[in-house]
Amino acid sequence: MKKFINDPDSFVDEVIEGILAVHSDALRAASDDSRAIVRADAPIANQVGIVTGGGSGHLPVFLGYVGQGLCTGVAIGNVFSSPSSDQVLAATRESNGGAGVLFVYGNYGGDVLNFDDAAELAEEEGITVRTVLVADDVTSAPADRRDDRRGVAGLAFAYKVAGAAAAQGATLDEVAEAVEHLNANMGSMGVGLSPTILPAAGEPTFTLDEGEMEIGIGIHGERGVRRGPLDPADSIADELFATISDDLGLSSGDSIAVLVNGLGATPLEELYILARRVSQRCNAGGIILERTYVGEYATSLEMAGASLTVVRLDDRIRHLLAQPASSPFVGAML
Amino acid sequence: MKKFINDPDSFVDEVIEGILAVHSDALRAASDDSRAIVRADAPIANQVGIVTGGGSGHLPVFLGYVGQGLCTGVAIGNVFSSPSSDQVLAATRESNGGAGVLFVYGNYGGDVLNFDDAAELAEEEGITVRTVLVADDVTSAPADRRDDRRGVAGLAFAYKVAGAAAAQGATLDEVAEAVEHLNANMGSMGVGLSPTILPAAGEPTFTLDEGEMEIGIGIHGERGVRRGPLDPADSIADELFATISDDLGLSSGDSIAVLVNGLGATPLEELYILARRVSQRCNAGGIILERTYVGEYATSLEMAGASLTVVRLDDRIRHLLAQPASSPFVGAML
Amino acid sequence: MNGAQLGALLDTACERLASTGDELRELDAEVGDGDLGITVTKGAAAVRTRLATLDADVLPNDVVLAAADAFGTANPSTFASLVSSGVKAGAKATELTDMSTAEVVAFGRAVAETIARRGKSAVGDKTILDALVPSLDAAEFSADGGALEAATAAAAAGIEETAAVAAKKGRAAWAGDRGIGVPDAGATAYLRFLEALR
Amino acid sequence: MNGAQLGALLDTACERLASTGDELRELDAEVGDGDLGITVTKGAAAVRTRLATLDADVLPNDVVLAAADAFGTANPSTFASLVSSGVKAGAKATELTDMSTAEVVAFGRAVAETIARRGKSAVGDKTILDALVPSLDAAEFSADGGALEAATAAAAAGIEETAAVAAKKGRAAWAGDRGIGVPDAGATAYLRFLEALR
Ligand SMILES: Nc1ncnc2c1ncn2[C@@H]1O[C@H](COP(=O)(O)OP(=O)(O)O)[C@@H](O)[C@H]1O
Ligand SMILES: Nc1ncnc2c1ncn2[C@@H]1O[C@H](COP(=O)(O)OP(=O)(O)O)[C@@H](O)[C@H]1O
Ligand SMILES: [Mg+2]
Ligand SMILES: [Mg+2]
Ligand SMILES: [Mg+2]
Ligand SMILES: [Mg+2]
């Protein structure tokens, strides 16, 4: 295990300690175990609170998106495992500024169970909660079962849209509707080139032969749609872009934003090789590529690989994506 | 080779194409081969131009530090190889706003040869050029031969200091002196957990057994001071911090800034585990840790590993580090 | 069986479960994310720690509630959450007193019902239910003293069937037909638990 | 030897150098960054491309200048920069006409001088100079027609000595005593070039 680590069992808690030590001006713990974290200035009075969370190992997802114009609070589970409902509840309490709380997180079974429990508990305490699941991975279920899809790097845009709407004073229902609108116009797809190792397990989550890739992989190493020999970068970019493009029904004249996301070990250089090709495809297809985000927005520990997220832009999404946002992790990136 | 790549021979040019496609608002080519790049608004009249450069494979070094309050221009070589003097000259010409140009780059033989040649050619064209080499890797030469040391992640601070001084209207000599002052107060040290593969070579630059680390490694995989079994994260952080601390002669009451830099494949989570320990050491030793930077500031393709950079702060450095800076890559990070 | 005896039995079973980590990780990783090994080993360890805090005269039902709570919070993944809330609901519905076969089967039915309701799943979806439900049927109609053996055999048979189909629920469902051939990880965890009880 | 013959000789030699990439990469990687293989293979390929553009009546000196320029810009690493500028300076100093041993040795001395001056290095620092300088000495005092063979043998002997010491210049110097035992990569590249000329 080529990891900087002390004890696998304290991995997540030490990461959080480090983050709180470095970013004490921006973040604070909202529970004794520090597994619930909120903006230092939370709750924001009369603003809808945005709470997210999920398993660890995906930085800057989830904790990195707590900030101004983004999420208000987060609950952090063990590596690749959901936080508990108590942890979600703790984040919810301290994120509630009186205008209700929106849960925005990726569609994973364990998270849904625990967030739903937390929502019930919060409602019992008089906090109004709504939930919008992010389900952007187009290969994880066909279009007629969109809601079954898992949530991947599109989370970044969901946080931006939710946080921007909340900062502008939208109501809980309006913020939820904005994220749902984004969801309907967003698709992602990933490709993995090497596995990750969970610190507590010490073994790779899957194996790929030298020179193999897994097309359609999830951010926990979930199987994709196809495993095969590693294609040239341009073919891979073409396959990801065409698949998402079909799913969204993009056509000439449409405006989009694109995120080329690194899964962890892949150098930034290679992400730009993919971005280059996407830009070429858009030019060739008459699609207006208004903005390209390149970098690590949702990772899977040290997995080599990348994902592509495409958002179809309309005035509403464009406006929300253009709002200022800042967090210790992704300030200038979003 | 687990890489998103088309043709190894066009790797660097495709990366640059991708970067220019995505960041055309901020960057523009300053040579026909696009190996010289400058700020879109370069040259800045009556401001000292800052030109850097070196081999590819280290993003955000070097191109990522071209921006407001940072470098004006850059020359980009092949992976791990110097740019040519012509490329440096091209960047220099378009970075010269009339107040002269400072070359700030890492101390590597090939770069020194080519930048020196470029400096001569530039002087022949009437451009005043000065050079300050960054040489922060404490393990690469003893303190009495500081100037022989190689330049690593400390480059990030050198760019910030140079760019901030230039933006404030300092003269060429003053900017150079500011970077020299930083150099005298900065030290770095790295540790590698896995090798990189040069696209054009297709083979790892070195091999480490499972569970081994190379302490003191350079950002091209240059050998360090010791190879041995992978220590716990805290011991590694202690060793890096103690070595640099001794080199700088830090003592209780000193103020420092620290950069925990990822070399490429190491997850952000693990960098925070190292940052946590450094913060603990500072607290224990009475050293005032004013700011900690955590992230990928100088990489070595997909190498797993990290480096620590420590800067002793005085009012002068503190003031320059506090100035605004922005680039498509490191805006909020610096 | 009284509460102390049940606690001792569970303690031994959880001790034995420690060795299942690798198998469950690998099964879960085939189609999912590979964390089930951690869920079960951490969960089992947490159960043992919690059992050690119980009084000697504790009631069987409270032993079960305490174990469920510990298992559910150690690593609250899908499996841990479903099993924990299922067991808690089962205990509340049955009020376990003597752990007779009839009582345990009734308890198990309530567990399965809760899992199915919360997981929106049914037998045939390739989940823990495919081992749990047949094991309860087998135990109910087993010969005296043979309930555990019958349940174990039925669970194993149910798991074999899961290998033949694609998952319809949970993370494994995303793998679709590519998951065919791999037995369900959660169902296997349940089987290993039954085996550890012997 | 006229210019066309020299061009043909260099072309063959550069073709042969293509196979040295792995060896040079590995040697450079032992203590440095592993790019010398790329420098030499890309450089040799660039030389061949450039040679193909020359006129049939080109002068030997211009063949050498063209080759140096191509080698220096293909992958301008330390080695490429030093060798290219050294060869250019040597050609300017000697004005090669017939490629006699005396002429080539004088040229080589000028190359070595320039490398030493620009690289601030000397024989014994574990660089290309440790092969280049002895090879010139050997060629100068060799029997008629035996210059290349003598130079090759002397270069090989010089390289063996480099293996015994720590580098004092270049990237390899950072490795300090850990570089002992590894022959110098740049010196080896020069030896492979001499061998390819035969
Ligand atoms: N909706 C569901 N209903 C019943 N059981 C489920 C459901 N989803 C998952 N499971 C069970 O949980 C197991 C996976 O557990 P776990 O690894 O904790 O999930 P995850 O990693 O997705 O959080 C599956 O093998 C299956 O037996
Ligand atoms: N200062 C120097 N003087 C003479 N030769 C040198 C010097 N520095 C390096 N070399 C030669 O160059 C070789 C390394 O070349 P190269 O791999 O291109 O360097 P780098 O990767 O550091 O740019 C060394 O093996 C040595 O022979
Ligand atoms: Mg999981
Ligand atoms: Mg090099
Ligand atoms: Mg799992
Ligand atoms: Mg080299």
Count of CB atoms situated within 10 Å of the CB of C58: 18
Q: Each residue's pLDDT tens digit in chain B (334 positions)?
A: 789 999 999 999 999 999 999 999 999 999 999 999 999 999 999 999 999 999 999 999 999 999 999 999 999 999 999 999 999 999 999 999 999 999 999 999 999 999 999 999 999 999 999 999 999 999 999 999 999 999 999 999 999 999 999 999 999 999 999 999 999 999 999 999 999 888 988 888 888 888 899 999 999 999 999 999 999 999 999 999 999 999 999 999 999 999 999 999 999 999 999 999 999 999 999 999 999 999 999 999 999 999 999 999 999 999 999 999 999 998 766 7
Contact A113 C82 (CB under 8 A): yes
User: Would you state the pLDDT for residue A207?
Assistant: 85
Amino acid at B101: V
The single residue listed with the structure tokens 């924001």 is A44
Q: What is the CATH number of the domain that holds B265?
A: 3.30.1180.20
C-A interface (Cβ pairs under 8 Å ≥ 3)? yes
A172 and A212 in a single domain? The answer is no
- Centre of ligand 4 to C-alpha D33, Å, is 6
Structure token pair of residue D154: 């002397």
Nearest partner of A17 among C36, B285, B280, D100, judged by Cα: B280
Would you say residue A161 lies in a domain? yes
Tokens of A280: 């070429």
The span from the CA of B142 to the CA of A101, in Å, is 57
Strands B255-262 and B305-312: antiparallel
Q: Tell me the β-bridge partners of B76.
A: B54
Instruction: Dig out the tokens for B55 from the structure.
Output: 């081999």
Kindly report the number of other CB atoms within 10 A of residue D71's CB atom.
Answer: 27
CA end-to-end distance (rounded Å), chain B: 33
DSSP β-bridge partners for residue C59: none
Q: Is some CB atom of chain B closer than 8 A to the CB atom of D33? A: yes
Q: Which of D28, D79, D115, D192 should be mutated for ligand 2, with most atoms under 8 A from CB? A: D79
- Does ipTM surpass 0.90 in this model? yes
What are the distances in angstroms from CA B109 to CA A250, B239, D179? 51, 28, 17
User: Do A110 and A134 fall within a single domain?
Assistant: yes
Is residue A237 included in any domain, yes or no?
A: yes
User: Which residues share a beta bridge with B27?
Assistant: B39
Mapped onto helix, strand or coil, the DSSP state of residue A98 is coil
Q: What is residue A206's predicted lDDT score, i.e. its pLDDT? A: 84
In this structure, the answer to whether residues B32 and B157 fall within a common structural domain is yes
Q: Do D174 and B223 touch (CB under 8 A)?
A: yes
User: Do A141 and A195 sit in the same domain of this protein?
Assistant: no
Q: What is the mean pLDDT of residues A34-61?
A: 98
Q: Is the domain of A124 the same as that of A233? A: no
Spatial contact of A172 and A108, defined as CB atoms under 8 Å apart: no
Chains D and A touch (3+ CB pairs under 8 A): no
| Per-residue pLDDT, B206 | 84
**Residues 6 or more apart whose Cβ sits within 8 Å of residue A296:** A60, A261, A262, A263, A264, B268
Distance from CA of C135 to the nearest CA of A (A): 24
Residue C45 CA, distance from chain mean position: 15
pLDDT at B144: 93
**What is the biggest distance separating any 2 CA atoms in chain B, rounded to whole angstroms?**
55
The β-bridge relationship of strands B101-106 and B49-56 is parallel
Question: How far out from the chain centre does Cα A306 lie?
Answer: 13
What is the predicted pLDDT for the residue at D31? 87
Final residue of a domain: which of A126, A149, A184? A184
For residue B4, the chain A residues in CB contact (below 8 A) are 193, 233, 236, 266, 270-271, 273-274, 306
pLDDT in tens, A164-220: 999 999 999 999 999 999 999 999 999 999 998 889 888 888 888 888 999 999 999
- Closest by Cα among B293, B44, B304, B40 to B196: B304
- Same domain, yes or no: B215 and B258: yes
Q: Say if residue A66 is in the same domain as residue A199.
A: no
Mean pLDDT, rounded, of chain A: 96
Domain boundary among A131, A158, A184: A184
> Which CATH number is A50's domain given?
3.40.50.10440
Residue with tokens 């922060």: B136
Q: Which two tokens stand for residue B170?
A: 């300092």
C-alpha span between B19 and A182 (Å, rounded): 27
* Count of the separate structural domains present in chain B: 2
What residues of A are in contact with residue B14 (Cβ under 8 Å)?
Answer: 233, 272-273, 276
Which of A19, A56, A272 is opposite residue B15, by nearest beta carbon?
A272
Q: Residue A333: which pLDDT band, with cuts at 50, 70 and 90? A: low
Best residue among C171, C174, C188, C193 to mutate for probing ligand 1, ranked by most atoms within 8 Å of CB: C171
Contact at CB, D81 and B82, closer than 8 angstroms: yes
pLDDT-derived band at A332 (thresholds 50, 70, 90) equals low
Q: Which structural domain, as residue segments, surrounds residue B268?
A: 186-320
CA distance A320 to C150: 60
Going by C-alpha positions, the residue among B98, B65, B76, B81 that lies closest to residue B30 is B76
Q: Are the beta carbons of B14 and B40 closer than 8 angstroms?
A: no
Residues of B in contact with A324 (CB under 8 A): none
Chain B CB contacts of D39 below 8 Å: 81
Q: Which residues of chain D fall below pLDDT 70?
A: none
Q: In ligand 1, which atom is closest to the CA atom of C171?
A: 22
Q: Which atom of ligand 2 is nearest to the CA of D28?
A: 17
Residue B290 Cα, gap to closest chain D Cα (Å): 32
What is the predicted pLDDT for the residue at B3?
95
Shared domain for B166 and B282, answered yes or no, is no
User: Of A333, A194, A321, A160, nearest to A260 (Cα)?
Assistant: A333
Residue C28 Cα, gap to closest chain A Cα (Å): 9
Residue A43 and residue A121 in one domain = yes
CA A64, A70, A72, A77 dihedral sign is: negative
Q: Is B187 helix (H, G, I), strand (E, B) or coil?
A: strand
- The domain made up of C3-197 is a member of CATH 1.25.40.340: yes
Residue with tokens 């790549």: B5
A327 belongs to a structural domain: no
Predicted TM-score (pTM) of this structure: 0.95
| pLDDT given at position B210 | 84
What confidence tens digit (pLDDT) does each residue in A238-263 have? 999 999 999 999 999 999 999 999 99
Report the pLDDT value the prediction gives residue B192, as an integer from 0 to 100.
Answer: 97
User: What pLDDT tens digit does each residue of chain C (198 aa) get?
Assistant: 999 999 999 999 999 999 999 999 999 998 889 999 999 999 999 999 999 999 999 999 999 999 999 999 999 999 999 999 999 999 999 999 999 999 999 999 999 999 999 999 999 999 999 999 999 999 999 999 999 999 999 999 999 999 999 999 999 999 888 899 999 999 999 999 999 999
Token pair in block for residue B90: 């091209």
End position of a domain, from candidates B162, B184, B206: B184
Per residue in A135-171, pLDDT (tens digit) is 999 999 999 999 999 999 999 999 999 999 999 999 9
Q: Which residue has the tokens 């990439």?
A: D21
